[in-house]
Amino acid sequence: MFGLLKPILVPIHRDGWLFVAGFAIVTLILALLWAPLGWVGAILTVWCAYFFRDPPRIVPTRAGLVVSPADGVVQMIEAAVPPAELGLGPQPLTRISVFMNVFNVHVNRTPVDGMVGNLAYRPGKFFNASLDKASEFNERQAIALRIADGRDLVVVQIAGLVARRIRCDLRQSQPVRTGERFGLIRFGSRVDVYLPDGVAALVVPGQMMIAGETVIADLAATEPARRGEER
């Protein structure tokens, strides 16, 4: 029986307990006022717990693999300049944008082994995170990860239309391993990954991502960028 419930009864991120408790208290008050309102509150409380779920992931550990930092769908893949506040220069790099809706797991994970080279937070707008302009204008937390060969891989947490809180637990010069939890965005948002120069994306727009598990690039591969089609 536990095996059947294991995919449902997953851990809740520590940031979520305060919200779940708040929803539960409001639900109790609503139920005392009018029973049907209590049921509405109960449904919202369950959704809140579901939103903050933090399931374990099986992370591929071969050196050089880059995994998705977020659950969601690949919104776009294009050449773009990394956030200026990181000071990495004006050269465009391949950017993979993963959009998270309010039903995705929102715990973010490091995409590759390395060390945190630089961190830069920038306040901004709250456009829909699925729009291209969100990368430029929205509130964001940019992270440069220095990998073993000296190149940088950039991860950017971007706030969305509903999201109003970006959490990043990393600190400068901190060593990180592929698939480790490093932050959270609530509620609905986007994460961009800027691959090192010459590294091709191994995913395609529209593909579903699982944070910490789905391989989005291989630092040692020489194959060209992949194509895909709906079937």
The full 3-state SS of the chain, as one line of letters, equals CHHHHCCCCCCECCCHHHHHHHHHHHHHHHHHHCHHHHHHHHHHHHHHHHHCECCCCCCCCCCCEEECCCCEEEEEEEEECCCHHHCCCCCCEEEEEEEECCCCCCEEECCCCEEEEEEEEECCECCCCCCCCHHHHECEEEEEEECCCCCEEEEEEEECCCCCEEEECCCCCCEECCCCEEEEEECCEEEEEECCCCCCECCCCCCEECCCCCEEEECCCCCCCCCCCCC
Asked about 130 being catalytic, the answer comes back as no
- Determine which one of 68, 97, 135, 189 is catalytic: 189
Active site residues: 189
